[in-house]
Amino acid sequence: MGRVAVTTKDNPDEHQFEIYLDGELAGFASYRSRPGIRAFIHTEIDPAFEGRGFGGQLITAALDAAREAGEDVLPFCPFVNHFIKTHADYLELVPEDQRKRFDLG
């Protein structure tokens, strides 16, 4: 298999971050926003692209964008929650008073 062009982008009209492989939508992470807060509610990767790390790339981009915007993150989505549990450098995005609610310490 050759190289695949991977791009991620925020699609605020659809309330989701998206990942594209060679221009084809391969997955998304849905969210709801309020000023200063982004709540991730669902992540989905097309079965044709599962198991190749694209979900992690998508969530990395989404959390990096939240960090850059100065937004807090509420990881209602189990995939996002697990990602934060296994990538401690993103824990700071979840407000301290909300971490227990998400079993994050």
pTM as predicted: 0.93
pLDDT given for residue 1 in this prediction: 52
Amino acid at 84: I
Q: Could you tell me if 7 and 17 are in contact, meaning their C-beta atoms sit under 8 angstroms apart?
A: no
- Whole-number pLDDT of residue 3: 82
Class of domain 6-102: alpha beta
pLDDT classification of 11: cutoffs 50, 70, 90:
very high
Alpha-carbon gap, residue 83 to 60, rounded angstroms: 9
Identify the band that residue 4 occupies on the pLDDT scale cut at 50, 70 and 90: confident
Provide the pLDDT confidence category of residue 43 given band limits of 50, 70 and 90.
very high
Domain boundaries, the chain: 6-102
With beta carbons less than 8 A apart as the criterion, state whether 81 and 99 touch: no
Sign of CA pseudo-dihedral 53, 78, 45, 36: negative
Residue 72 has pLDDT above 90, yes or no: yes
